[in-house]
Structure 1
Amino acid sequence: MPGLHDPLMIVTDLDGSLLDHHTYSWQPAQPWLDRLKQHQIPLVICSSKTASEIIPLQQQLGISGAPFIAENGALVQLDSANGDTVRHHAGKDYSEICHCLRRLRQQYQFRFSGFADFTDKEVADITGLSVSDAALARRREASESLVWRDSEEQFSAFRDALDAEGFSLTQGGRFWHVMAKGSGKGAALAWLLQSSPAHQLQRFITVGLGDGPNDAPMLDSVDYAVVIKGHSKTPIVLSRADRLNIYETRHSGPDGWVEGLDYFIAQE
């Protein structure tokens, strides 16, 4: 079991994990956040949220400048060896994705609504975010979030049509996410570690925490995986065989987040 003096990296989902699913509060996790900061352990946000949402949240959490993974892995940001900010962008940009979705919707009469179709107020009503925070959620760069309103048969046809266009579908806590095929939280974390100057000097021991099906690729690729009790009807299915390095929490949200770190990280 790793300790606080080991070269740890914590990789965390936000909604339903570090942040409460309903209130977006992280207060139960504050003692652990302070501990990580004290021991200079990097906390990497790995979320479906946009960069515009993550950067101010990093400021509130006291981790400004830390690497992060946004839009379910479609976007990665980190600082390079010379201190420049590097943005890794998987696949096509947002306008190209939205153009493709409009074309498919018209061609096949699919019924769905994406963030490009919603107003800030409508996104706020769906998510419980403030209108100003909903505006940040709509500042997408490399993926689209949508609500499916059609049949399962049409959904299967939609997935096939996206596949033919070079896109994939990922299920999050509230929305389906359309992004470039081959991208995702696991691929984004692999790119981040490979590109991180600090990781090249000393290999990090990674602890990942998540509560939704879209977290599975990330949880499969970390050394220790915390599956937080979630609200999704679809269970998290991990493909890794090392069951001793997987912990499923009894609590949800930030309480489960704390429970998972308590379980895997030895404290002096």
Structure 2
Amino acid sequence: MFSLAQPLLIFTDLDGSLLDHDTYDHKPAREWLERLATARVPVIFNTSKTAAEVWPLYRELGLTAPFIAENGGCVHLPPDWAGDEPADDDGWARVVLGASRQRILTVLEAVRETESLRFRGFADMTVEEIISLTGLDAAGAERARQREASEPLVWKDSASALEHFRLELIGAGLELTRGGRFHHVMGETCNKGRACGWLISRFEQLHGAGVASIGLGDGPNDIPMFDTVDAAVIIRGRHEQPIEVRDESRAYRTRAEGPQGWAEGLAHWLDDE
């Protein structure tokens, strides 16, 4: 068990986790969000979403912690977490841990042409297509296209072709992971776990002390995060993809989905107070 009184970081996926899979509502998690805010425990988004998508929710919740976008491709640091990284006018710094999106798109186009594989990435889609796949409104779909270090795609070929595609990407220094809705292509050393570890190290450097961590998510792309943090909350998902972690004793699998499961998981690890 963990305590809100100890140094603690909460890393959370968004879609299907903190946010309802269909409605993007987070109301069932509000009580816990308020408790964490009162205890000054950082809630760190760790999502496949873009920074442009994250900002509206981040501001709505009044958060002050860093956040991780695009499956670990980018880490965005507020002024009190930044080191010597270049900062914008508000003091925020951005650290790109993965490959640039332009390089990813170049590789994808070459693989599609040479291997005759069938898939559609966000760069191939209209805003209307993204709306139909995600349920986002037009503004949200446009923000979802503003990517820096990854490309979501819908696979339209066979399972055997998917494995061939994965190997082609590895040969080009890229990696394929599966989220709740899409496959995601990114740099080979880039994932949610590496970004978690990077931020845990940054916190310990800034504060000169160790910190405990809990990670919450519902998709296979959350596995590297689960294997990095001290305790995992594996939220019941809508997909049928297996989620296997290195140490099941450090994982709690929820009965509820979405933000209800999010609250259930935090209660499991923190309600000893």
Structure 1 and Structure 2 fold alike (TM over 0.5): yes
Q: 1:249 to 1:91 in 2, by over 3 A?
A: closer
1:37 corresponds to = 37
Q: Percent identity?
A: 45
- Give a deviation string over 1:157-214, Cα, whole Å, max 9, x none: 2111111100010000110000000110001111122223676423221011111110
Q: 1:190 — aligned with what?
A: 197
Residue 222 of structure 2, aligned match among 203, 206, 215: 215
Quote the residue 2:73 is aligned against: 74
| Separation in structure 2 between the aligned mates of residue 123 and residue 9 of structure 1, nearest angstrom | 32
Aligned residue number for residue 249 of structure 2: 244
> Deviations for 1:136-173, whole angstroms, at most 9, x for unmatched residues?
01100001000010112221221111111000100001
Q: For the residues of structure 1 that align with 2:101 and 2:59, how far apart are their CA atoms? A: 25
**Aligned match of 1:97:** 104
Contact 1:193 1:199 in 2 (8 A): no
Instruction: Structure 1: give runs of 5+ residues left out of the alignment.
Output: none
Cα-Cα RMSD: 1.5
Aligned 8 A contact 2:74 2:98 in 1:
no
In structure 2, how many angstroms separate the alpha carbons of the residues matched to 1:66 and 1:233?
A: 32
Deviations 1:88-115 (A, max 9, x none): 2123211121111111111111100000
* CA distance, structure 2, for counterparts of residue 253 and residue 176 of structure 1: 20
In the TM superposition, what is the alpha-carbon distance from 1:120 to its structure 2 partner?
A: 1.2
Deviating more after overlay: 80-89 vs 42-51: 80-89
- The secondary structure found in structure 2 opposite 1:196 is helix
Measured after TM superposition, the shift of residue 86 of structure 1 is 2.5
Say which is worse superposed, 49-58 or 193-202, in terms of deviation.
Answer: 193-202
Q: Can you give the 5+ residue segments of structure 2 that lack an aligned partner in the other structure?
A: none
Secondary structure, in 3 states, of the residue corresponding to 1:99? helix
Could you tell me which amino acid in structure 2 is paired with residue 245 of structure 1? Answer: R
Question: Matches of 1:119 and 1:144 in 2, distance apart?
Answer: 14
Q: Which stretch shows the higher mean deviation, 166-175 or 82-91? A: 82-91
Aligned equivalent of 1:226, options 209, 223, 233:
233
Cα deviations by residue, 1:124-143 (Å, 9 ceiling, x for unpaired) = 11011111101001100001
Higher mean C-alpha deviation, range 258-267 or range 209-218: 258-267
CA contact (8 A) 1:216 1:237 kept: yes
